[in-house]
Each structure stands twice: as structure tokens, then as C-alpha cells.
Structure 1
Amino acid sequence: MREVAAHAGVSVGTVSHVVNRSQKVSEDTIAKVSRSIDALGFVRNAAARQLRSGRSSSLGLVVLDTANPFFASVAHGAREACDEAGLSLLIGDSGTEEARESKYLDLFAEQRVNGLLVTPSGADLSKLEGIASRGTPVMLVDREAGGYSLSSVTVDNAAGGRMALDHLIAGGCAKPAFVGGPFTLPQVSDRARGARERAAESDLDMAVFETGELTILAGRSIGERIVSLPEEARPDAVFCANDLLAVGFMQAVIMFSALRIPEDLALIGYDDIDYAFSAIVPLTSIRQPADLLGRTAVESLLAENASGEQIHRDEKFTPELVVRQSTRAV
């Protein structure tokens, strides 16, 4: 900073104000200092600033799968909110593995992030609760706290499951099935629970097919299995726990059977990612406000951080049914 100050012909304090935006400086002075910064290749020492302030200018986000467009949209909303707050967003992909998630949490703790946004992969949230108790705000994203002292921003997944079954039943489906997994993920189990409740209220049995992953390949694999069932055992409607599964399932129906969607088999997904609209048969889906989830998580975490109080907030959005050609007309 001394070299920049000498090059620009200003004080070190002025350079500091320009770099840290800590005090109003004239536009001419900002331009002069900026030219010197560019000329000298100056980079601010973030580590030194963290030592002084005790915190970095970053938030950490850990999601289950960055390849899933739903989580990409969550990250997009979070990043936009961070940009507006003058913060950076560090992103980690746990791959639904608790050990990998723990590594990212440790890494972000070493970086002294201003807060953590996490979609946990396991049921035990005690490590996150411990991080929060030591002064680093933690916000659960797309996951309820379930009795832990943590804040959360979620979608009502059980309501989404009921919504999906309501739509399938209204379209005349009598043999619904649920496809999804693993059931250790609360999002999956909650969607299945809501669907089961609505099926039971309508005196229908709902078959359940558990998958190991929420991917297109997993959807195609279970789809091959279901379309090969004899007609009397085959469902006439399938509710998939997310759109990736539904897209893979649709591929199996088209590639390995003569069944028609939705005439022979209605299909509905969850999330309403771009793939849903652009599928061969446009996919009916339960829409989650993914971008809004990410944005709200950041804004709520920063509000909690600014208050200095550990007051836990839980915000829950209601999903929305988006009807397309993969289900029967109501």
C-alpha cells in the first residue's frame, strides 16, 4: 500500500480508504489510486485483514450436488445476494457424503467466513450447532432444523407431495407410485410422506421404489424396471422425488416400452428445473423457488449476524404445481 501511495502521490490512509471503501474519497482520487493499483499489480492482503477483523468478507455454501440445476439455482440466488452485500461466496459440493461435508465445514472455518449456508447430507446436525454456538452464524438451506438450535430456509416438501398426488388423482390415476431416494434425505422422505398421506385419504395404495441417488441415470434404471412389470402390477402414474429422476424415468419409458406419457403413464417431478420444460414430453413439476431460497438464506443470515443475537429464524415457502403435458388433463 505504501508503494501504491507513493506511485499515486497520496497518503497510505487514502489508499486504504479507496481499497476498503471505509471513507468517502473523491472520484478523481479513486481513479488515480486505481490506476496505480493496476500499474503495480497490487492485491489486497485478505489474510492480514482477517487477522484484524476476526472475519473474512466471505460466506460459505455447502450443497448436496452442484451438478443438480436446483442447487445451481440456489447458489445463483445466494451469490447475487452476496454481491449486493459486498461479500464473496465460497461453494462446496458434499456429494451427499457427510465426510466431505465435514471437510468443507472445517475449510470454511479456517477461512473465518462470516457465516455458513448448508444443505446437510446427514441427520446429525450437532457439528453445525456447535459452529453456530461458537459465533459463526449457520443457516440451513432446503432443510428444517428438526429440534437443533439452527436457523433454516425451507420449502414445505410434505405439502409438495400432497400437491403432486392431488393432481395425479384428479387426472384419473388410480395406481400411483413414488420414486426417489435415499430416504435418509429428509427432503425425499417428506415428499413421500405427503404423497402417502394423500393416497391414503383417497383409499389408494401407493407403491414406493427407492433409488440410491437423485440422478437421471437412477431415474432411467428404475424406469426400466417399472415399465417391464406386468400391466396389473405397473403403476399408471409416477411421482418422482426430483426432476432429474423424472427425466431419466421418461427416457426409460420412451426407449424401452411402447407406453405413452401421459395416456398410459402420467409422470410428475419436483423442483421445476429447466430440464422439466425442455423434456421430450414437457414435464409437470412441483416448483421450488430455488433462486429465492438462496437469496433469502443469505439475507436472513446477514440479518442474524448484524443483530449479534442468536435468535433462530425458520422461513418456509410453499411450493407450486406447474402443469405440463406429462400428466393428464384435469
Structure 2
Amino acid sequence: MATQQNGRARRPSITDVAKRAGVSVGTVSNVLNRPDQVTPATRERVQAAIEEMSFVRNASARQLRAGTIRTVGAIVLDIANPFFTEVARGIEDRLAPDEYTLMLSSSDEDPEREARYLRLYEEHGVQGVLVTPSQGSLDVILAMRDRGVGVVLLDATSEVEDVSSVGVDDVRGGQLAVEHLLALGHERLAFVNGPDTIRQCVDRRAGVVAALVAAGRDPEDVLTEVTVGSLNADAGEQAMNEILAMGSDRRPTATFCVNDLTALGALRALRRADVPVPASMAVVGYDDVAIAPMLTVPLTSVHQPTHTLGWTAADLLLREAAAGDGAEHQRVLFQPELVVRASTAGY
């Protein structure tokens, strides 16, 4: 049971348990950590006191005394994006067997917010951080690394020799989407893209242009690009409304969206405008989140191995922490795959 302190409930301490059981604090510690060193009768008495008082050990204090904090921080662009939710699950599944706790935050694509969370994580003494950078500069992240905090870039590529990264070849992903639409016979394409401060947006655009050039098409003639400020469904809907407002002689017949959330918004705009998909507008997304095949018109999307991304990044971080100064840094780059569904099929 909780005791009272200044009129408020106070969680029982190991000292409270020791007093209740009539043993030393050291004996309670042994029951919790080295039960084989305590006689069965004493163990039973201490366990009875623990249960009676609803005692829960303070893991943070114990780790501080041992000089280690079994916590990993992760900063992603947007927790609300199902892509990052699935990545986070991969991180958790790797951390759990080693009894690490995950602290997860969104930068909301804001470098200042990202820097603030990095500082807070460092102040909390995390074992290391996994970061999806919100801008091209890694200065704040590298400064943290130089102070001894382990860092692995998540859903990103690293150009720094001693910083590991786990990402996907987004240039190839952009190529896959456009190659598919060209193969279906589309002559005018739209690309709903995000800010050029986000590496994924830049790389996917490079893939779009590369695919058009390789097919002998002039991007200036074939491609309509609509840039949105945020990578969410509302932005995707607004972008599609802009595309639909174009004259019929210039309007694209297919749209590639930089992620699945913007694609969901684009599909919403098409439904509200009674534009049939894919007969009058084909749509391709990127990420292949879990809900993509469940939509009224299942979404064609460029698949990323989300769970594997998170699991691999966390594994790299833990292995580097265990290796210390002798850690081998790696750049892991997965290849995307196109998953074709009804939003483009049958054009």
C-alpha cells in the first residue's frame, strides 16, 4: 500500500519493505536481484511484504547506480504517419529482448523541435538515439554523437563515415512508380511532392525524373509537380484539387504521391469530385502502409520494409553500444518493391 507524504500518496520504497519484513535493505535487494543467496523462509517473508505494500522497484534509480540507462530515444518526422508507427514497432521488437525501453517523439519536420528532443534525450542519459533527420544538416546530431551518445540515422542515408544509417533506396522507389505508370500508357503525370528539406522527397523526385528521361520523355512536357508543405492527407487532397482544376487538355491522367498519406488525401478528393479511379485518374502512393490494401479502391504503392527498418536500426545501435570505440559502422540500404493494386490496374 502507498504511504502518505505531505498529504499525498508516496510509492513504498525498498526501505519500507525491509521494515515491514523485519530484514535489512540488503536482504530485500538480494531477494530482488540474487534470490538464490537468501533462505526460502526469508524470501517468502520479503515477498509477502512486497505484495502487501504493492512495491514496484525503481528501475531508473537502479540503472543510475549501475551507471547505465536502458533506454533508447527515437525521433521520427510524424508519429501520426502509419509508416513511422510500423517502424517504431520494429524498434520495440528489437529492444524488448534486451529489456530496453523506447522513448518516441515526433519532430514534425521541424529542426528546432528535433534539436530540443535530442537535448532532452541526452539529459535523460539514453543509451543512444535513432533519428530521422528533419533537414539536410546533421550538425546537432553529430555534436551529440561527439559527446558519447550513440546515433543511428533511421530511414535515411549517411554520408558521414562513422555514423551508421538504415534506409531505403528512394531514388529507385520513385523510378518504380513512374515506370509502372508509363507502362500503363499514361502520357501526362502529376507528382505530389513535399518540401526539399526532406531527403526522401528529394530522392523520390530524382527517381521520377530519371525514369522519365530513361523513357525518352521530357519532364518539362510530361510532368506536373505540386509541392505541399506537410506530408498528410489534407495536403494530398488540396494538391489533387489543384490538379483537377487544370484544363482537360493539360490535366494528368495519373498521379504519384510522395507517401501514402498524401495519396489517401488525393483519393478523397477524387471521390468527392466523382472522378473514377483508375479510369480517369490512376494513383500511386509510397510506403505501402497496412491500410493501403484495405481502402475502397486498394492503393498501388511502393513498399518499404517498415518493421525491418526499425528492427535493423535498433540492432545496429545496440551492437555499436556493446562494441564501444571499436564499433563497426554500417550503411544499410534496402530496396523498395512496387505493389500493384486497383488504383492503377486496368487503366
Q: Give the match's secondary structure for 2:301.
A: strand
Q: Which has the larger radius of gyration?
A: 2
The answer to whether the Cα contact below 8 Å between 1:129 and 1:149 also exists between their aligned partners in 2 is no
TM-score for both structures, normalised by structure 1: 0.91
Q: How far does the alpha carbon of each residue in 1:137-167 deviate from its partner, in whole angstroms, 9 at most, with x for none?
A: 1111101123364111111111111111111
Q: Which runs of 5+ in 1 are unaligned?
A: none
* Structure 2 residue aligned with 1:92: 105
1:128 aligns with 2:145: no
Q: How far 1:26 moved relative to its partner?
A: 9.0
Quote the Cα distance in structure 2 between the aligned partners of 1:66 and 1:154: 17
Task: Spell out the pairing of 1:96-245 with structure 2 (5 A cutoff).
Answer: 96-147=109-160, 149-204=162-217, 205=219, 206-245=223-262
Quote the Cα distance in structure 1 between the aligned partners of 2:97 and 2:46: 24
* Structure 1 residue aligned with 2:285: 269
Quote the Cα distance in structure 2 between the aligned partners of 1:9 and 1:268: 68
Mean Cα deviation higher: 220-229 or 9-18? 9-18
* Structure 2 residue aligned with 1:321: 338
How large is the RMSD of aligned CA atoms in angstroms?
2.4
Mean Cα deviation higher: 204-213 or 297-306? 204-213
Q: Give the match's secondary structure for 1:113.
A: coil
Q: Give the match's secondary structure for 2:104.
A: strand
Match for 2:319 among 294, 303, 306?
Answer: 303
TM-score for both structures, normalised by structure 2: 0.87
Mean Cα deviation higher: 35-44 or 189-198? 35-44
Quote the Cα distance in structure 2 between the aligned partners of 1:189 and 1:291: 23
Q: How far 1:326 moved relative to its partner?
A: 0.4
Quote the Cα distance in structure 1 between the aligned partners of 2:301 and 2:30: 50
The answer to whether the Cα contact below 8 Å between 2:35 and 2:43 also exists between their aligned partners in 1 is no
Report percent identity of matched pairs: 40
2:69 aligned partner, one-letter code? S
The answer to whether the Cα contact below 8 Å between 1:5 and 1:15 also exists between their aligned partners in 2 is yes
Residue 314 and residue 10 in structure 1: after superposition, are their counterparts in 2 closer, same or farther (change >3 A)?
farther
